Amino acid sequence: MTQRLHLVFGGELIDPTKNAFKDVDAIDIVGMFPNYETAYNAWKAAAQRTVDNAHMRYFIAHIHRLRDEEIAASSTEELGN
């Protein structure tokens, strides 16, 4: 069975109309979650904690979309043996 991992993270943006972080070292990694529902709940809680700061944004990254086990490995993966 395929796991559908999701990463929830966020931080303060340089400009609230863009997705560039003010300080990459200060990004808040909320956590990795096994499904969208739990990731969404974590995202919502983190976003609600920072609702008073218009520059704070939290995101859900669909980690499971980065790697499809059915697709052959890339040439860079082949270098590692």
The count of other CB atoms within 10 Å of the CB of residue 37 is 10
Q: Which residues contact 40 (CB under 8 A, 6 or more apart)?
A: 60
pLDDT in tens, the chain (81 residues): 567 899 999 999 999 999 999 999 999 999 999 999 999 999 999 999 999 999 999 999 998 888 666 666 555 554 454
Cβ–Cβ < 8 Å for 10, 46: yes
Q: Which amino acid does the sequence have at 55? A: H
Residue by residue, DSSP assigns 20-48 as: -BS-GGG-EEEEEESSHHHHHHHHHHHHH
